Amino acid sequence: MKLIHGLLPVALVLSLLGGLPGALARKAPKPPPEPKFSRAELMVINLNRGPKSCGFFLSETLRQTRQAIKDLDRARRQLEQVDHEYAKFKGRPDDHFFGSSVEGLSQAQESAAKLEKQLDETLDELRSSIKQSLIAQ
């Protein structure tokens, strides 16, 4: 009786697999052959893929530029608040003791925004150029 109960799971597995272990020895059909690319085509494909590629560096720089814009904005706002409070403390609320620094941060923020736009456009252009060059073949 115990022998029959012990064989039940084995019979179930065999039935799910499609029969006896000999059926397992059959090889799966070969996948269709991958298209062969020339070295130049592979280089074009890899421009936008993987670590240390052109697309990776552009994407990473774009991410860092966006973070820099946020950080510059935080720094500018903090400096404006401190300037306002310090001017009140000195009794001269209309003076700006850190005005040139605030202006410099504003200019840096504008430059970073221009860089962000240029990087974004360059990345889009790279991706479309890669697609066009691969489709044209």
Burial 57-70 (b: 16+ CB within 10 A, else e): ebeeebeebeebbe
Query: Where in the chain are the domains?
Result: 37-135
| Torsion of Cα atoms, 123 then 127 then 133 then 134, to 10° | 150
Q: Residue 83 and residue 73: Cα distance in Å, rounded?
A: 15
Q: Tell whether pTM > 0.75.
A: no
Give φ, ψ of 126 to 5 degrees.
Answer: -60, -45
Structure tokens at 53: 């590629």
43-77 pLDDT per residue, tens: 888 898 888 999 999 999 999 999 999 999 999 99
13-41 pLDDT per residue, tens: 555 555 555 555 567 778 777 778 788 88
